[in-house]
Amino acid sequence: MLLEYSIIYKAQNHYENWVDDAHWQFLIIPEQNNSQEFVSIDFTNSLNVPNEFSVNAYGFKTIRVNPKMKFKDIAFEADFKLIKREVNPFDFRPEEDIEGSFKKIEELNFRVDFEPFLRTTPLTFLPQNDKGLFVFDHTQSIFENLQNLNNWTFKHLYFKTGVTSVDTKLHEILENKHGVCQDFTHLFCALARANNVPARYVSGYLHQGNGYFGDSQMHAWAEAYIPNIGWMGFDPTNNLLANTNHIKVAHGKDYEDCSPLKGVVHTHGEHETSHTVQVSSQQQQ
Amino acid sequence: MAHSSNQIFTSYERNPALLDEIYESNGEVKEIYKKLFSLYGEHSILDYVKLNEKAKSSFFNQGITFQVYSEKDTQEKIFPFDLFPRIIDPEDWDIIERGAIQRSKALNLFLWDVYHDKKIIKQGIVPMDLISSSINYMHQMLGVDPPGGIYNHISGTDIIKHSDGKYYVLEDNIRCPSGVSYVICNRTALKRALFGVFNHYQTCSVTNYAENLLELLESVKPKGVDVPNVVVITPGMYNSAFYEHSYLAKTMGVELVEGRDLFVENDFVYMKTIRGPLKVDIIYRRIDDLFLDPLEFKPDSSIGVPGLFAAYKKGNVTLANAPGTGVADDKAVYTYMPEIIKYYLNEEPILSNVHTYHCSRPDELKYVLEHIHELVIKPVDEAGGYGISIGNRLTKSEIETVKKQIKENPRKYVAQPILSLSVHPTYIDESESFEQRHVDLRTFTILGKDKEFVLKGGLTRVALKKGNLIVNSSQGGGSKDTWVLKNN
Q: What's CA B322's distance to the chain center, in Å?
A: 17
Residue from A26, A106, A108, A193 whose CB has the most chain B CBs within 10 Å, to mutate: A108
Q: What percent of chain B has pLDDT over 70?
A: 93
* DSSP β-bridge partners for residue A53: A63
* DSSP code string of B1-30: --GGG-GGGTTPPP-TTS-BTTB-TTSPBP
Mean pLDDT estimate for chain A? 92
Asked if A58 and B299 come within 8 Å (Cβ–Cβ), the reply is no
**Any chain A CB within 8 A of the CB of B405?**
no
Helix H segments across B335-419?
A: 337-345, 362-370, 396-408
Is B39 in CB contact (< 8 Å) with chain A? no
Residues of B in contact with A64 (CB under 8 A): 295, 306-307
Mean pLDDT throughout B114-124?
A: 97
Q: Chain B: give the shortest CA distance to residue A253, in Å.
A: 10
pLDDT confidence of residue B196? 83
Give residue-wise pLDDT tens across range B320-369.
999 999 999 887 798 899 999 999 999 999 999 988 888 888 899 999 99
The count of other CB atoms within 10 Å of the CB of residue B61 is: 9
b/e A190-212 (16+ beta carbons within 10 angstroms → b): bbbbbbbbbbbbbbbbbbbeeeb
Structure-model confidence comparison of residues B51 and B29, the more confident one: B29
B263/A66 Cβ within 8 A: yes
Give residue B420's identity as a one-letter amino acid code. Answer: S
Q: Does B299 touch chain A (CB under 8 A)?
A: yes
Residue B3 scores a pLDDT above 50: no
What is the 8-class DSSP label of residue B281? Answer: -
Residues A250-285 pLDDT 10s? 999 999 999 999 999 988 889 998 889 989 887 765
Q: Flag whether pLDDT at A16 surpasses 90.
A: yes
Tell me the residues of chain A between 107 and 136 that have a Cβ less than 8 Å away from chain B: 108-109, 111-113, 115-116, 118-119
Is pLDDT at B370 greater than 80 in this prediction?
A: yes
Q: Which of A21, A23, A251 to mutate against chain B (most B CBs within 10 Å)?
A: A23
Instruction: Please give, rounded to a whole number of angstroms, the shortest distance from the CA of B94 to a CA of chain A.
Output: 39
Residues of B in contact with A115 (CB under 8 A): 118, 128, 131-132
Confidence band of A211 (pLDDT split at 50, 70, 90) = low
pTM, to two decimals: 0.91
CB-based contact B101:B445 (threshold 8 Å): yes
Q: Which of A108, A102, A77 is nearest to A7 (CA)?
A: A77
User: CA–CA separation, B139 vs A190, rounded Å?
Assistant: 18
Best mutation target among A27, A64, A258 (most B Cβ atoms within 10 Å) is: A64
Asked if pLDDT for residue B469 goes beyond 80, the answer is no
Rg, C-alpha atoms of chain A: 20
Residue pairs between chains A and B whose CB atoms are closer than 8 Å: 63
B313 contacts in A (CB within 8 Å)? 55, 57
* B377 within 8 A of B367, measured Cβ to Cβ: no
pLDDT at B1: 39
pLDDT per position as a tens digit, B121-130: 999 999 998 8
Of the CA atoms within 13 Å of residue B264, those in its CB half-sphere come to 31
Residue of A109, A115, A263 with shortest CB distance to B132: A115
DSSP letter for B485, please. Answer: B
Q: Are B466 and B437 in contact (CB under 8 A)?
A: yes
Give mean pLDDT, residues B289-307.
92
Closest approach of A261 to chain B, Cα-based (Å): 9
Contacts of A258 (CB under 8 A, 6+ apart): A27, A201, A202, A203, A220, A249, A250, A251, A252
Separation between Cα atoms, residue A243 and residue A206, nearest integer Å = 10
Q: What is the domain partition of chain B in residue ranges?
A: 223-316, 358-417
Residue range A56-84: average pLDDT? 94
Percent of chain A at pLDDT > 70 equals 96
Q: Assess whether pLDDT exceeds 50 at residue B155.
A: yes
Q: Where does the pLDDT of residue B474 fall: very low under 50, low under 70, confident under 90, or very high at 90 and above?
A: low
3-state SS of chain A: helix, strand, coil percent to 5? 20, 40, 40
pLDDT at res. B4: 43
- Asked if B438 contacts B421 with a C-beta cutoff of 8 angstroms, the reply is yes
What pLDDT is recorded for position B68?
A: 60
Query: What are residue A246's DSSP bridge partners?
Result: A206
pLDDT value of position B69: 60
Q: Specify whether the CB–CB gap between B62 and B185 falls below 8 A.
A: yes
Nearest residue, CB atoms, A115 vs list B131, B266, B307: B131
Q: Tell me which of 2.40.10.340, 3.40.50.2300, 3.40.50.10470, 3.40.50.11290 is the CATH number of domain B223-316.
A: 3.40.50.11290
* Cβ within 8 Å, pair B266-A23: no
CB-based contact B310 A66, cutoff 8 Å = no
In which band, very low, low, confident or very high, does the pLDDT at B219 lie, cut at 50, 70 and 90? very high
Give the Cα separation of B158 and A22 in Å (integer).
42
Q: How does pLDDT run across B159-214, given as a tens digit for each residue?
A: 999 988 899 998 899 999 999 998 998 898 888 888 788 989 999 999 999 999 99
pLDDT for the residue A167? 87
DSSP secondary structure letters along A21-84: EEEEEE--SPPPBTTEEEEEEEEEETT-PPEEEEE-TTS-EEEEE---S-EEEEEEEEEEEEEE
Mean pLDDT value of segment A116-120: 95
The answer to whether the Cβ–Cβ distance between A54 and B310 falls below 8 Å is yes
pLDDT at A212: 61
Mean pLDDT, to the nearest integer, of A25-43?
A: 92
With CB atoms and an 8 Å threshold, state whether A112 touches B122: yes
Q: Say if A52 is an interface residue toward chain B (CB within 8 Å).
A: yes
Q: What would the CATH number be for the domain defined by B358-417?
A: 3.30.1490.270
Q: Does B123 touch chain A (CB under 8 A)?
A: no
Instruction: For each of the domains in chain A, give its residue range(s) and CATH number, in order of start.
Output: 2-85+259-283 (2.60.40.2250), 98-258 (3.10.620.30)
Higher pLDDT, A60 or A213: A60
Tens digits of per-residue pLDDT, B371-383? Answer: 998 898 988 877 6
What's the pLDDT at B157?
A: 96
A196 contacts chain B (CB < 8 A): no
